[in-house]
Amino acid sequence: GGHEELVELLLSRGATIEHRDKKGFTPLILAATAGHEKVVEILMNHAADMEAQSERTKDTPLSLACSGGRYEVVDLLLNRGANKEHRNVSDYTPLSLAASGGYVNIIKLLLTHGAEI
């Protein structure tokens, strides 16, 4: 799993929710990329920045969840209002990232949420 109890403990002890690692990833970016839905939910419940961008590629948690085929995380982020039209440094939207990965279920989900083609 995504170590939900540990995440809750660290946050309760004052861990910096927007801390960035050497690659410029926040905990939410890492959890979304790895598909840890419960950790994503915990972090968002603690007001983690849903629109945080990775330093080099300017990918958001939604972008990375789409490119990794993480359906449950994509669903959660969309239901919380994540920006469906964000463009990363390569000018790719979450929809184009899902399409390049062949994730038809995520494409359908994005379109249901009103993503532009």
List of domains in the chain: 4-112 (1.25.40.20)
- Which of 69, 68, 80 has its CA nearest to residue 40? 80
The tokens for 80 are 């919380």
pTM assigned to the model:
0.95
Q: Say whether pLDDT at 27 is over 70.
A: yes
CB 54 within 8 A of CB 24: yes
35-92 pLDDT, tens digit per residue, is 999 999 999 999 999 999 999 999 999 999 999 999 999 999 999 999 999 999 999 9
